Structure 1
Amino acid sequence: MTLPRRTGRLERLTLPGVLTTEQAARTVAGIAAVQRPDGAIPWFRGHHLDPWDHVEAAMALDTAGEHECAEAAYRWLADHQNPDGSWYAAYHDGDAARPTDRGKETNFCAYLAVGVLHHYLTTGDEVFRERMWPVVADAVEFVLELQQEGGEIGWKREPDGTPLTEALLTGSSSVYQALRCALALAELQDAPQPDWELAAGALGHAIRSHPERFADKSRYSMDWYYPVLAGAVRGPAALARLDERWDEFVVPGLGVRCVTPNPWVTGGESAELALALWAVGDRERAARILSWIGHLRADDGLYWTGYVFADKAVWPEELTAWTAGAVLLAVAALNGDEPTCAVFGGAELPRGLEPDCCRP
Structure 2
Amino acid sequence: MTAFGPGPGRTERLVLPGVLTAEQATRTVAGIAAIQRDDGAIPWFRGHHLDPWDHIEAAMALDAAGEWERAEAAYEWLARHQNPDGSWCAAYPDTASGVDTAHPTDPGRESNFCAYVAVGVWHHYLSTGDDAFLDRFWPTVFAAVEFVLGLQQPGGQIGWRREADGTVLTDALLTGSSSVYQALRCALAIAEHREEPQPDWELSAGLLGHAIRHHPERFLNKDHYSMDWYYPVLGGALTGAGAKERIEADWDRFVVPGLGVRCLSTNPWITGGESCELALALWAMGESDRAVEILQWIQSPLRAEEDGLYWTGYVFEDDAVWPEERTTWTAGSLLLAVAVLGGDEATMAVFGGERLPRGLDSDCCA
TM range, normalised to the smaller chain? Answer: over 0.9
SS class of match (1:100):
coil
Partner of 1:189: 194
CA drift of 1:97 comes to 2.5
Partner of 2:123: 118
- Structure 1 residue ranges, 4+ long, deviating more than 4 angstroms after superposition: none
Equivalenced residue count is 354
Instruction: State the Cα distance separating 1:146 from its structure 2 match.
Output: 0.5
Counterpart of 1:3 in structure 2 is: none
Give the counterpart of 1:199 among 195, 200, 204: 204
Q: Which residue of the partner structure matches residue 242 of structure 2? A: 237
> Helix, strand or coil for the counterpart of 1:40?
coil
Instruction: Give the TM-score of the pair, scaled to structure 2.
Output: 0.96
| Partner amino acid, structure 2, of 1:62 | D
CA-CA distance at 1:98 after TM superposition = 2.9
Within 1, Cα distance between the matches of 2:311 and 2:328? 10
Q: 1:105: which partner in 2?
A: 110
How far does the alpha carbon of each residue in 1:288-316 deviate from its partner, in whole angstroms, 9 at most, with x for none? 00000102000210000000001110000
Percent of aligned pairs with the same residue?
Answer: 73
| C-alpha separation in 2, matches of 1:95 and 1:18 | 36
1:220-267 superposed Cα distances (whole Å, 9 cap, x missing partner): 000000000010000011011000000000001110000011000000
Correspondence for 1:302 among 298, 301, 309 = 309
> Alpha carbon RMSD of aligned pairs, Å?
0.9
Q: Which runs of 5+ in 2 are unaligned?
A: 1-6
Tell me how far 1:96 sits from its aligned partner: 2.0
1:52-91 to structure 2, matched below 5 A, reads: 52-91=53-92
Residue 123 of structure 1 aligns to which amino acid in structure 2? T
Query: Which is worse superposed, 328-337 or 7-16?
Result: 7-16
Give CA-to-partner distance per residue, 1:311-330, whole Å, 9 cap, x none. Answer: 11000000000000000000
Query: Structure 2: which amino acid aligns with 1:187?
Result: E
Say if 2:15 is the partner of 1:9: no
SS at match of 2:275: helix
What letter corresponds to residue 298 of structure 1 in structure 2?
Answer: A
Equivalent residue number for residue 336 of structure 1: 343
**Paired residues of 2:88 and 2:109 also in contact (CA < 8 A):** yes
Q: Distance in 1 between matches of 2:65 and 2:204?
A: 34
What's the offset of the Cα at 1:7?
A: 8.3
TM-score normalized with structure 1 length: 0.97
- CA drift of 1:109 comes to 0.1
Note the alpha carbon deviations across 1:100-125, whole angstroms, 9 max, x for none: 10000000000000000000000011
Q: Distance in 1 between matches of 2:248 and 2:329?
A: 26
Unpaired runs of at least 5, structure 1: 1-5
Structure 2 CA distance for aligned equivalents of residues 343 and 67 of structure 1? 17
